[in-house]
Amino acid sequence: MDIPGYLYPASSPPLLMYQIKLFRFVSSWGTVHIHRGKAELALDISVVLFDLGGVLVKLNGPEALMRLSGYSKSREEVRSAWRQCSAVKEFETGRINLNVFAERVIRDLDLPVSLGTFLQDYPTWMNQLHSEAIDVLEMASQRCRIAALSNISAVHWRELESALTEAPVFEHTVLSFDTGWMKPERGAYLAAIERLGEPPDQVLFLDDSEANVVQARRMGMRAEQARNADEAGAMLRNLFSNRE
């Protein structure tokens, strides 16, 4: 059986380790039911794979950038500028160091702040969990395995590790600064599938980005959009109620 082309990241280095393990999963995909009922889906899910920022973690970056700009830019303007700044992807995939990243962000976003001010402020952008996050993780961990798939810098991950000390431990953390891939790039999902060791259709992925959810579904995962921990908790309670 041929492996579908969408399992190969475009213009990527060989991913033989992923491909070998994925072949076993892909070869059984003929039995996957696309339009399954909730009860059947609940029984099939082996892993809940969480995005971090947005779903479990408060995203304070846009407000921080507005403040650092002296409130000369709107929320949408700073979000757009952030997405267009190439240093963001390079830093969150581990290709440049913190100082280079900070200097380029200050320049590209025309922020009227010093390097020292930015470096002091940046770690605080992603260090607070949503109030429901730990309860959601506890609920999920009591019923299946839990893992994380996130676009995140090493700096923010260090901050989050402290915030997560009282939460159930993720069995796997698939993080962009470590893998070199960012969602919705296919390599990010391949890395997650390989580490989880489960057929993709037995993984439920929750993310606040519609684009990331769509790509996860293309990769064979069950995926839903959850914009915060409250929405994630409601989805999981509804799902797991069908197991009882």
Cα separations in angstroms, 214 against 17, 172, 184, 218, 222: 24, 22, 9, 6, 10
Nearest to 204 by CA among 146, 164, 244: 146
Cα separations in angstroms, 155 against 65, 119, 122, 159, 220: 17, 10, 9, 7, 31
Tell me the β-bridge partners of 48.
146, 204
Question: Which tokens belong to 188?
Answer: 């990010």
More confident residue, 215 or 244: 215
pLDDT band at residue 243 using 50, 70 and 90 as cut-offs: low
Q: Average pLDDT of 15-28? A: 43
pLDDT band at residue 44 using 50, 70 and 90 as cut-offs: confident
Q: How far is CA 137 from the centre of its chain?
A: 15
What's the confidence (pLDDT) of residue 14? 42
Between 29-33, 103-107, 192-196, the lowest mean confidence (pLDDT) is in 29-33
Alpha-carbon gap, residue 244 to 234, rounded angstroms: 16
Question: Which tokens belong to 10?
Answer: 């475009």
